[in-house]
Amino acid sequence: EAQVTQNPRYLITVTGKKLTVTCSQNMNHEYMSWYRQDPGLGLRQIYYSMNVEVTDKGDVPEGYKVSRKEKRNFPLILESPSPNQTSLYFCASRDDKTETYEQYFGPGTRLTVT
């Protein structure tokens, strides 16, 4: 089944404790992206990657890092989480071959930083 998976789905952590949220897709998509969803703000892009070893900042990159060593994986790293990073996070991948640029979303990771 074609899908985007994320782990963990729920995470409660404390300020300053490094964490990684994994994202994996099995559709051989080159483009992947991370978003955070906050009430009244919709989804905002954190980072994106056009291909392996090619990453760039989105609209709200502060406090986050990403890496793209393999095509299928795009982990999101919070080196020193803070309470303002409490949010719902979505990973997505995109099929650029169709030129419709439709994105496929993972199930989401709900992060709480205390």
Partner 1 sequence: AQSVSQHNHHVILSEAASLELGCNYSYGGTVNLFWYVQYPGQHLQLLLKYFSGDPLVKGIKGFEAEFIKSKFSFNLRKPSVQWSDTAEYFCAVTLSGGYNKLIFGAGTRLAVHP
What residues line the site for partner 1 (CB under 8 A)?
31, 33, 35, 40-45, 48, 50, 56, 90, 96, 99-103, 105-108
Shortest CB 96 distance to partner 1, Å = 8
* Closest CB to partner 1 among residues 44, 72: 44
**C-alpha–C-alpha distance, residues 33 and 109, integer Å:** 14
Do 54 and 69 touch, CB atoms closer than 8 A? no
Question: Min. distance of Cβ 57 from partner 1 in angstroms?
Answer: 12
* Residue number with CB closer to partner 1 (79 or 102): 102
User: Of the two residues 1 and 14, which places its CB atom closer to partner 1 in the complex?
Assistant: 1
Q: Which letter, b or e, does each residue of 50-87 get, where b requires 16 or more Cβ atoms within 10 Å of its Cβ?
A: eeeeebeebebbeebebebeebbebbbebeebeeebbb
Least gap, CB of 103 to partner 1 (angstroms): 6
